[in-house]
Structure 1
Amino acid sequence: MKKIAVLTSGGDAPGMNAAIRAVVRSAIYRGLEVIGIKRGYTGLISGDLVPMDLGSVADIIHRGGTILYTARCEEFKTKEGQQKGLKVLREQGIEGLVVIGGDGSFRGAKALAELGVQTIGIPGTIDNDIPCTDFTIGFDTAVNTVIQAVDKIRDTATSHERTYVVEVMGRHAGDIALWAGLAAGAESILIPEEPFDLQAIIDKLKRGVSRGKRHSIIIVAEGAGKGFEIGEEIHRATGWETRVTVLGHIQRGGSPTAFDRTLASRMGDMAVELLLKGEGKKMIGIQGGVLKAVDIEEALSTPHKPELSLYNLASILSI
């Protein structure tokens, strides 16, 4: 193998740049030529390629987002779009491809692998919703962003003796809400994977007030419910002044944590090693602190499950 390419696709995540840097420098160290594909599969189809050298990835390990940009590409979901992408790779002599992204990105990588391209996936998404890995790149940073915001909100909640509902990202996965809620000491955590009884939450809030509690924080994953609707229900049932904060895309940005930078660097290096060994159609995951290569098909077919022991612990500690 002489030439490989790297792209980022889907939603951006802190640490993607660190992964790009690791892929490029690890490949060059091993004598490979590296091509960057801009704007994900959209750029692959249109041939938006750029040669990468050591200087291309200088001073990016600490930056959020992705220097290769990212986009969602409906065309690449079709056979015609995949053939266009394959044609570009063949014309450019690209023999291996590293895809950094989430579920949709891996489906594209799987399609290319079935067309004969060696592909390796690196899980990069703040939602932490990729099976076969304990953590995805960007998740730790997003959780810390939420914790910092909730800590600030708690200050004003205490001062004004109010209940605050904080809505965080997670349409289909509640990992951000779960980990941030436990770490920030939220009174209640609502995630899409677990049914909840709003009346029970309201009763819990009332019990807290009866023992002298003056403020409460409820963290809601967007897939579990709308923060403003839940806040209105609490106000209607109690008469208390309730405030709602939707954190939104602030959770995607920012300088990646040390954990995300290290994880991204390790995964980027391993991706190059796997390509040089002739392996493809694999995803790199971290399980119990150890990096492992698993079949992309397995990752795509395995349901994501949150760490519900944390959910139960949070409930116990917020009694």
Structure 2
Amino acid sequence: MESDYDLEERRSRTWLWVLIGLLIAFAGGMGAMGYAVTHDARTAGLLHLEPIAQAQAEKAQATHAVVQQARQIITRQAAVTPPTPSQAQMATRVATLEDKVDDIQAQATEATGDASRAEGLLVAFAARRALDRGVELGYIEGLLRQRFGGTQPQAVATILSAAHQPVTLADLQNGLDAIAPTLAAGGSPKTSWWQSFRNELSGMVVVRRAGEPSAQPADRVTRAQRMLEAGQVDTALAEIVRLSDHSAADGWIVAARRYLAGRGALDQIETAALLDPATSAGAPRPAPAQTQAPVKVPGVASVHPATAKATD
């Protein structure tokens, strides 16, 4: 019986050692496989696995590529986006822009003044042309009031009065030619014989300096006619007024003075347009005033009743 027990025990130990050997062999195989996979690329390729070193290398390469790409993007953005200017640079740019704006405003103001000055001169020239032709101002009357009524009211009123009672240079020439024989004779046809005798007697002997113009009525009238032909109405008027008896030329004198007053007012507003182009743009445009029909006065082509009663 003891021999059977010993035999059984021996069999059990044999199987135990076999099992231990199998476990050791399995562990060794697993270790060898792990070593081969991690250190042998061929074995890893057969098992469709990558070595750890290769995986780490590929990971490092991918990381390096990402870093390089990020650096390129940052470099491009830095090249496209300019650096933020400092406060001093911003202040300099703002000051430069303000100077440019001031220059533009000054140029615009100067251009506006030139345009206003030119417009004022055009209005004045149009009014002068109407007076020289002896026609009504029409819409020019409203422009005169609008542009010069606030700064030159007296001149505007004088021009409008002269336009309502127009007298041209041709009217003055024709009027003086009509009364020249009477003025050259020394007085009006209604003068008494005694007054005519005294005038003739006083003109027989005349003492004057050498080179001084003759004071004879006929000579004065002739000089006045020549002055009118030259457009010198003021000098012609002075010659007629100096006559000893110019009652026959009273109407002509009134017309000549009205002519001179209108041209003087035109000169005044032309000067104002050159020196001061500012105008009252907001003033309403009035309608042209109604004019009276002219009446005939001896010695003048056409004179209105309002001025026919005027005195020297």
TM tier, smaller? under 0.3
TM-score of the superposition, structure 2-length normalised? 0.26
Q: Determine which structure has the larger strand proportion and give its number.
A: 1
TM-score, with length taken from structure 1: 0.26
- Relative to its length, the structure with more helix (as a share) is 2
